[in-house]
């Protein structure tokens, strides 16, 4: 049950991060937000635990999970009208995790898990219907694939490693990776409120949530963690409505309902929480 508590924290924090990032793009460039998140995440976690020595594997997973994925999310939010939709498209990730786990980890995929993920991904697809979709929507889908690749790589390489030092190092690598893009398209508006919100976003979404995410992967595995993380788009729609007044379309509401149905199917098939 503890691992599910970790994931609940992840779902709430990342669900809030999408509309908050959309709001902050009016004050900061998407590339600067991504860099700042990684840099603050590195600073916060390094204050708690000494970072691990970086190597090729740590760099690869850090760039995939915390660098490229977050950058694609932020760029998507710059162009998108609905933060909830961007969040939904990112959550093609469980489908990619399922496929990559079967290939790289030789994981056995249960019928209930496959059906649950299929329903969740169907919800993602339905959410993009009804107009408003554009080529920029490919950015979060690509982000979902890179995130899945990084998630499976973490499970493959770092299961027996201390979570805090590794997560700190990955944030540092991601910050170094994102610094050139932040310098190229630099935009900062010095609003005290915006700056405080940016710091809060960085500490929670990059420091706390990634730490909880990797702990949940360690205890539940990447497929189960990815399945439950499908709740993030639902929370993102809710927070987008309360923060930005962004009301989900009928298709987005139906898609979110399919996501919840998919998660329920997984639990029914499993029979109990582990």
Please answer whether residues 149 and 100 qualify as being in contact, where contact means their C-beta atoms are separated by less than 8 angstroms: yes
How many angstroms separate the Cα of 69 from the Cα of each of 62, 77, 114, 125, 167? Answer: 10, 12, 24, 20, 15
- What is the pLDDT averaged over residues 30-42? 91
- Please return the burial class of 53, using the count of CB atoms within 10 Å of its CB with bins 0-12, 13-18 and 19+: exposed
Condensed to tens digits (0 to 9), the pLDDT of residues 73-111 reads 888 888 877 787 788 788 778 778 877 877 876 767 778
Sign of CA dihedral 245, 246, 248, 252: negative
Answer whether residue 245 shows pLDDT above 60.
yes
Condensed to tens digits (0 to 9), the pLDDT of residues 182-238 reads 888 767 776 788 889 999 999 998 888 888 888 887 788 777 777 777 788 888 888
Closest by CA to 31, choosing from 71, 85, 78, is 71
Please answer whether residues 38 and 67 qualify as being in contact, where contact means their C-beta atoms are separated by less than 8 angstroms: yes
Lowest mean pLDDT among 29-38, 167-176, 242-251, 265-274: 265-274
- CA 260, distance to chain mean position in Å, is 17
Whole-angstrom Cα distance, residue 226 to residue 223?
5
Condensed to tens digits (0 to 9), the pLDDT of residues 130-149 reads 655 566 677 888 998 999 89
Q: Cα(first)–Cα(last) distance of the chain, in Å?
A: 7
* pLDDT of the residue at 274: 44
Answer whether residue 15 shows pLDDT above 50.
yes
Sign of CA dihedral 215, 221, 223, 227: negative
4-26: burial string, b at 16+ Cβ within 10 Å, e else: eebbebbbbbbbbbbbbbbbbbe
User: In the structure encoding, which two tokens stand for residue 266, read together?
Assistant: 């997984």
Please answer whether residues 181 and 175 qualify as being in contact, where contact means their C-beta atoms are separated by less than 8 angstroms: no
Closest by CA to 171, choosing from 142, 226, 209, 140, is 209
Closest by CA to 203, choosing from 41, 26, 3, 24, is 41
Cβ neighbours around 68 below 10 Å, total: 21
User: In the structure encoding, which two tokens stand for residue 136, read together?
Assistant: 């920029």
Please answer whether residues 234 and 16 qualify as being in contact, where contact means their C-beta atoms are separated by less than 8 angstroms: no
92-131: burial string, b at 16+ Cβ within 10 Å, e else: bbbbbbbebbeeeeebeeeeebbebbbbbbbbbebbbeee
């Amino acid at each position: 049950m503890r691992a599910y508590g970790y994931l609940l924290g992840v779902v709430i924090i990342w669900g809030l991060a999408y509309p908050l990032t959309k709001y902050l793009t009016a004050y900061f460039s998407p590339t600067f937000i991504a860099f700042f998140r990684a840099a603050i995440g590195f600073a916060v976690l390094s204050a708690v635990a000494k970072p691990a020595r970086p190597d090729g594997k740590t760099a690869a997973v850090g760039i995939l999970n915390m660098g490229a994925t977050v950058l694609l999310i932020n760029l998507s939010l710059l162009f998108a009208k609905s933060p909830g939709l961007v969040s939904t498209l990112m959550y093609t990730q469980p489908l990619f995790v399922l496929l990559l786990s079967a290939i790289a980890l030789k994981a056995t995929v249960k019928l209930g898990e496959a059906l649950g993920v299929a329903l969740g991904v169907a919800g993602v697809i339905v959410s993009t219907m009804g107009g408003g979709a554009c080529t920029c929507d490919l950015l979060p889908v690509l982000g979902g694939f890179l995130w899945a690749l990084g998630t499976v790589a973490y499970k493959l390489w770092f299961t027996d490693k201390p979570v805090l030092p590794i997560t700190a190092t990955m944030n540092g690598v991601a910050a170094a990776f994102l610094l050139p893009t932040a310098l190229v398209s630099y935009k900062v508006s010095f609003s005290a409120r915006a700056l405080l919100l940016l710091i809060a976003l960085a500490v929670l979404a990059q420091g706390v949530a990634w730490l909880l995410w990797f702990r949940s992967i360690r205890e539940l595995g990447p497929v189960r963690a990815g399945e439950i993380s499908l709740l993030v788009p639902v929370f993102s729609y809710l927070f987008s409505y309360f923060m930005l007044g962004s009301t989900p379309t009928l298709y987005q509401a139906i898609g979110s309902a399919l996501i919840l149905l998919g998660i329920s199917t997984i639990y029914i098939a499993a029979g109990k929480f582990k």
